[in-house]
Amino acid sequence: MSTSNGHVLGNGKSEAKPVELSLQTAERMSERTMALVAELEVPFDPSVIEWRVTNTTKDKKRGQIIPYGDQRAYTDRLNALCSPAGWTRTYTVHTSANFQRSDDQKTVAKVFVTCNLTIFGIGSHSATGEELD
Protein backbone atom coordinates (compact mmCIF):
# COMPACT_ATOMS: atom_id res chain seq x y z
CA MET A 1 0.00 0.00 0.00
CA SER A 2 1.43 3.34 -0.99
CA THR A 3 0.27 6.79 0.05
CA SER A 4 1.26 10.13 -1.34
CA ASN A 5 0.26 12.23 1.66
CA GLY A 6 2.31 10.64 4.43
CA HIS A 7 -0.51 8.62 6.02
CA VAL A 8 0.18 5.38 7.82
CA LEU A 9 0.66 2.40 5.56
CA GLY A 10 -1.03 -0.92 6.12
CA ASN A 11 2.07 -2.17 7.96
CA GLY A 12 1.81 0.56 10.63
CA LYS A 13 4.75 2.57 9.32
CA SER A 14 4.36 6.05 7.95
CA GLU A 15 5.72 7.19 4.64
CA ALA A 16 6.49 10.91 4.59
CA LYS A 17 7.13 12.37 1.19
CA PRO A 18 8.71 15.80 0.77
CA VAL A 19 6.61 18.52 -0.75
CA GLU A 20 7.98 19.49 -4.11
CA LEU A 21 7.12 22.82 -5.64
CA SER A 22 7.77 23.63 -9.21
CA LEU A 23 9.41 26.94 -10.01
CA GLN A 24 6.14 28.04 -11.60
CA THR A 25 4.19 27.27 -8.40
CA ALA A 26 6.74 29.11 -6.27
CA GLU A 27 6.59 32.13 -8.58
CA ARG A 28 2.77 32.14 -8.40
CA MET A 29 2.92 32.01 -4.60
CA SER A 30 5.44 34.82 -4.60
CA GLU A 31 3.22 36.92 -6.87
CA ARG A 32 0.24 36.34 -4.56
CA THR A 33 2.33 37.24 -1.52
CA MET A 34 3.57 40.45 -3.17
CA ALA A 35 0.02 41.37 -4.18
CA LEU A 36 -1.23 40.79 -0.63
CA VAL A 37 1.56 42.90 0.84
CA ALA A 38 0.75 45.68 -1.64
CA GLU A 39 -2.92 45.59 -0.56
CA LEU A 40 -1.92 45.70 3.11
CA GLU A 41 0.19 48.82 2.44
CA VAL A 42 -2.73 50.84 1.03
CA PRO A 43 -3.36 53.78 3.42
CA PHE A 44 -6.56 53.68 5.44
CA ASP A 45 -9.40 56.05 4.69
CA PRO A 46 -9.08 59.20 6.86
CA SER A 47 -12.48 58.44 8.40
CA VAL A 48 -11.00 55.49 10.35
CA ILE A 49 -7.96 57.43 11.59
CA GLU A 50 -8.12 58.87 15.09
CA TRP A 51 -5.69 61.20 16.85
CA ARG A 52 -4.23 61.04 20.34
CA VAL A 53 -2.34 63.70 22.26
CA THR A 54 0.91 62.23 23.54
CA ASN A 55 2.83 65.18 25.02
CA THR A 56 1.88 68.70 26.03
CA THR A 57 3.70 71.68 27.46
CA LYS A 58 2.94 72.59 31.07
CA ASP A 59 0.64 75.43 29.94
CA LYS A 60 -1.20 72.96 27.59
CA LYS A 61 -0.88 75.41 24.66
CA ARG A 62 1.36 73.13 22.57
CA GLY A 63 1.77 69.43 22.22
CA GLN A 64 2.30 66.42 19.99
CA ILE A 65 -0.36 64.20 18.48
CA ILE A 66 -0.11 60.83 16.77
CA PRO A 67 -2.49 59.20 14.30
CA TYR A 68 -3.71 55.66 14.84
CA GLY A 69 -6.20 53.43 13.11
CA ASP A 70 -9.22 52.01 14.85
CA GLN A 71 -8.56 48.33 15.65
CA ARG A 72 -11.71 47.33 13.74
CA ALA A 73 -10.23 48.83 10.56
CA TYR A 74 -7.16 46.60 10.86
CA THR A 75 -9.29 43.54 11.60
CA ASP A 76 -11.66 44.28 8.71
CA ARG A 77 -8.78 44.67 6.25
CA LEU A 78 -7.09 41.44 7.34
CA ASN A 79 -10.41 39.55 7.15
CA ALA A 80 -11.10 40.93 3.67
CA LEU A 81 -7.64 40.17 2.28
CA CYS A 82 -6.70 36.96 4.13
CA SER A 83 -10.05 35.61 5.38
CA PRO A 84 -10.56 35.18 9.12
CA ALA A 85 -8.74 31.83 8.91
CA GLY A 86 -5.68 33.36 7.21
CA TRP A 87 -4.29 35.33 10.13
CA THR A 88 -4.07 35.34 13.92
CA ARG A 89 -3.16 37.78 16.65
CA THR A 90 -2.24 37.06 20.23
CA TYR A 91 -1.70 39.41 23.16
CA THR A 92 0.63 38.93 26.11
CA VAL A 93 0.25 41.23 29.14
CA HIS A 94 3.03 41.87 31.66
CA THR A 95 3.16 44.30 34.58
CA SER A 96 6.16 45.84 36.27
CA ALA A 97 6.70 46.02 39.99
CA ASN A 98 5.42 49.19 41.62
CA PHE A 99 7.89 52.06 41.65
CA GLN A 100 7.90 55.65 42.81
CA ARG A 101 8.13 58.39 40.19
CA SER A 102 10.82 60.96 40.91
CA ASP A 103 8.84 63.99 39.70
CA ASP A 104 5.72 63.65 41.88
CA GLN A 105 6.63 60.77 44.24
CA LYS A 106 3.51 58.88 43.15
CA THR A 107 3.67 55.07 43.31
CA VAL A 108 2.82 53.58 39.92
CA ALA A 109 3.31 50.43 37.84
CA LYS A 110 3.61 49.87 34.11
CA VAL A 111 1.52 47.54 32.01
CA PHE A 112 3.24 46.14 28.92
CA VAL A 113 1.17 44.57 26.15
CA THR A 114 2.81 42.66 23.31
CA CYS A 115 0.77 41.86 20.20
CA ASN A 116 1.99 39.17 17.82
CA LEU A 117 0.33 39.21 14.40
CA THR A 118 0.81 36.26 12.04
CA ILE A 119 -0.36 36.16 8.43
CA PHE A 120 -0.10 32.57 7.25
CA GLY A 121 2.28 32.19 4.34
CA ILE A 122 3.91 35.58 4.95
CA GLY A 123 5.22 35.76 8.51
CA SER A 124 4.84 37.32 11.94
CA HIS A 125 5.47 40.67 13.56
CA SER A 126 5.42 41.67 17.23
CA ALA A 127 5.11 45.07 18.84
CA THR A 128 5.00 46.16 22.48
CA GLY A 129 3.26 49.14 23.99
CA GLU A 130 3.27 50.40 27.55
CA GLU A 131 0.98 52.40 29.81
CA LEU A 132 1.37 53.67 33.33
CA ASP A 133 -1.14 52.28 35.76
Domain positions in the chain: 21-82, 84-133
pLDDT tier for residue 75 given thresholds of 50, 70 and 90: very high
Query: For residue range 78-130, what is the model confidence (pLDDT) as tens digits?
Result: 999 999 999 999 999 988 888 888 888 888 888 889 999 999 888 899 988 87
Residue 54: the pLDDT is 83
Q: How far apart are CA 124 and CA 89, in angstroms?
A: 9
- What does pTM read for this prediction? 0.61
Residue 25: the pLDDT is 60
At residue 42's C-alpha, the angle toward residues 37 and 43, to 5°, is 140
